[in-house]
Amino acid sequence: MDALPTPPTPAVAEAEQELSRITQRVEAMRAVLVQLLQDVVRAESFLGESQSVQLLEANEQLVLSALGAQIDSESALQALDEAARTSGLDPLTQLANRALAFDRLEQAIAHAKRQGTQLALLFVDLDKFKQINDSKGHAIGDQVLRQVAQCLLSAVRESDTVSRHGGDEFLILLDDLAQIKDALSVAEKLKEVLGEARASNEHWAELSASIGISIYPRDADTATALIACADQAMYIAKRQGPGGISFFVENAAFPELGSPWAAGTAAEPSESSEPSVLALQRQAAELTQRLARQEKSQLLLQEANEQLVLATLSALDLQAAAAAAQQRQGDFIASVAAELNDPVSPIRLAMTALGRQPDAASLLPHAQEMMTQQAAQIRGFVSDLLHPLDASAKAKAKLLLNRQPLSPSALLDHCAQLCRPLLEQRQQQLRRDQAPEALQVYGDAQRLTQAISNLLSNASRYSHDGGVIQMTLQRAGDQALITISDVGIGISDQALQTIFEPFGREAHAVGVHGDALGLGLTVVREIVEAHGGTVRASSPGIGQGCQFQVSLPLLGQAEQG
């Protein structure tokens, strides 16, 4: 008979209830986890469809832009190099490249052939540049090449062509060469400029330049041959040591050297031939130096002959000019004598004074005195001018002065009195202004009266009727300054340059109130300068009047002079 099941104890029942609650909580947590997993899947799905795609596209655009910029940069550099080659410039130094230099050399040769002139080609090779390039790097080497290019440009004319032949070699074309020695002078200047730059640049070390020179048409008549000659001359210069300079020497002078010398490179001698080759090289260097000295001597002799010929021609020109000047001076003095000997001037003034009033009889004594004084002055002037009897002495004649202390104020009073009839006839007003102090000069009263009267009468003649003439006297340092101003027809700027020269006339003044020989102002200048003074003219322009200023040394300074 089977046994009946044992009913559960209270403890077991409680445990089963607790297990049931835990199971329910686990199922609830599992549902929450499932929900979270679904949210994660949705979030990942959303991110993959929007932001991830945008980020990926942005990265792709960034990569494409970077690649495009790199391609554009490379294209720009290629275009720059192509433009430099097309324009004929060297990309590193911006000098003319080999093609452009060759073209300009051919054009210069054609021009020289047509004009019958000569030109020089300088082949410049930098000494010890390889040491700089190897020890300091190619960046410093490129910098040195650019600086050398600027130095070469600064040492030649703007019309000359400086080009980079290749590496550390440069060509310099000197067009329209006047003398062969000018090429040597340019080479020396190049060495000097490079030396100054080397002293101020730490990267240059012992950099120098060997320079070879070829001359058209003496050495060659084509561009290719001229470059080859300059290259050969450069290697001759290198054998003299760093910084050497050499002209091209024909290969015929070195028959034993053969092609190695003509190619401009040193041969590799064998043990058996080394002494003879070295000896030939030394002989070649010595012969080159002798030829250079001989050529320099020939150039100096040629220049001396040219200078002698020029000096001879100049002496002949000076002799002819002196003879012509002597003739002109003689003619001038004769003309001055003729003008001063003309009695019309004092008579005209006297007749003007006598005819201005009906009662002219009261003016007879004054007119007679004026004519007597003028006649005495003119006789003195003519006597001094014509005193020498022979032609050579007449050409050297100078004014003789009877100098004594005199008052400029009294001198101006006398001149104003002499010119008063002319002023009154034209109803002109003379205004006087003088310094309050008493001034004295050391001079010839008659000559100074002639000079001042001439200026005053000119002011009246070339002023309008009823005009005002100003005459002032003042002290200017150690000079007595006499100024005569008018508001008449004026003087042009061109005429002011020659107004005091013989026959120097203002065009618009010809025929104004009579005419003269054009010597009056020349006589004024001669008289004033004979007293150690100066006279100058100024005018604002035609129709605006003019001003003449006469400065005379005061008494103390005139006696010292």
For 112-148, the pLDDT digits (tens) are: 999 989 999 999 998 888 888 888 888 888 888 988 8
**Residue 433 and residue 472 in contact, taking contact as beta carbons nearer than 8 Å:** yes
Q: Which of 47, 149, 173, 199 is nearest to 100 (CA)?
A: 173
- Distances from the Cα of 45 to the Cα of 38, 41, 221, angstroms: 10, 6, 86
Percent over 70 (pLDDT), the chain: 65
Q: Can you tell me the distance from the alpha carbon of 549 to that of 70, in angstroms, rounded to the nearest whole number?
A: 80
| CATH code reported for the domain at 88-254 | 3.30.70.270
Q: Is 168 a catalytic residue?
A: yes
According to DSSP, the β-strands at 429-434 and 208-216 are unpaired
Read out DSSP for 17-68?
HHHHHHHHHHHHHHHHHHHHHHHHHHHHHHHHHTHHHHHHHHHHHHHHHHHH
Q: Can you tell me the distance from the alpha carbon of 459 to that of 469, in angstroms, rounded to the nearest whole number?
A: 7
Within 167-326, strands assigned E span 169-177, 208-216, 245-247
According to DSSP, the β-strands at 245-247 and 208-216 are parallel
Position 558 pLDDT exceeds 90: no
In tens, the pLDDT along 25-62 reads 878 887 777 777 777 677 666 655 556 566 666 666 76
Residue 303 CA neighbour count, 13 Å, CB half: 11
CATH classification (class only), 403-560: alpha beta
How sure is the predictor about 163, in pLDDT bands with cuts at 50, 70 and 90?
Answer: very high
Helix axes 344-354, 408-425, angle to 10 degrees: 60
Average pLDDT over residues 481-506: 83
Q: CA quadruple 549, 550, 553, 555: dihedral positive or negative? A: negative
**Residue 484 and residue 463 in contact, taking contact as beta carbons nearer than 8 Å:** no
Show the CA angle centred on residue 507, arms to residues 502 and 511, nearest 5°: 90
Q: Over 434-469, what HEC string results?
A: ECCCCCCEEECHHHHHHHHHHHHHHHHHCCCCCCEE
In tens, the pLDDT along 319-341 reads 787 777 777 766 666 665 555 55
Instruction: Decide: helix, strand or coil at residue 302.
Output: helix
Percent over 90 (pLDDT), the chain: 20
Q: What is the pLDDT of residue 537?
A: 92
One-letter amino acid identity for 285?
A
Average pLDDT over residues 369-379: 64
Q: What is the pLDDT of residue 556?
A: 74
In tens, the pLDDT along 384-442 reads 555 544 444 444 445 678 889 999 999 999 898 888 888 888 899 999 988 777 889 99
Query: Tokens 């003789």, residue?
Result: 400
Q: Can you tell me the distance from the alpha carbon of 182 to that of 184, in angstroms, rounded to the nearest whole number?
A: 5
Q: Can you tell me the distance from the alpha carbon of 304 to that of 283, in angstroms, rounded to the nearest whole number?
A: 31
Average pLDDT over residues 280-285: 61
CA 421 to mean position of chain CA atoms: 57
- Distances from the Cα of 57 to the Cα of 42, 63, 64, angstroms: 22, 10, 10
Catalytic residue among 90, 127, 160, 168: 168
Show the CA angle centred on residue 519, arms to residues 517 and 521, nearest 5°: 135
Average pLDDT over residues 488-497: 86
Strand partners, 216: 119
Q: What is the pLDDT of residue 264?
A: 37
Within 57-168, strands assigned E span 118-127, 161-166
Q: Can you tell me the distance from the alpha carbon of 340 to that of 369, in angstroms, rounded to the nearest whole number?
A: 18
* Domains in the chain: boundaries: 88-254, 301-398, 403-560
Beta carbons within 10 angstroms of residue 161's beta carbon? 21
**Residue 217 and residue 225 in contact, taking contact as beta carbons nearer than 8 Å:** no
Q: Which of 393, 395, 390, 460 is nearest to 424 (CA)?
A: 460
How sure is the predictor about 496, in pLDDT bands with cuts at 50, 70 and 90?
Answer: confident
Q: Under the phi-then-psi rule, with left for phi > 0, alpha for psi from -120 to 50, and beta for the rest, what region is 399?
A: beta
**Residue 156 and residue 162 in contact, taking contact as beta carbons nearer than 8 Å:** yes
Average pLDDT over residues 178-187: 89
Hey, what are 293's tokens? 């000295």
Show the CA angle centred on residue 336, arms to residues 335 and 340, nearest 5°: 120
Read out DSSP for 216-257?
ETTT-SSHHHHHHHHHHHHHHHHTT-TT-EEE---GGG-TTT
Q: Which of 464, 429, 456 is nearest to 521 (CA)?
A: 456
What is the rounded average pLDDT for all residues in the chain?
Answer: 76
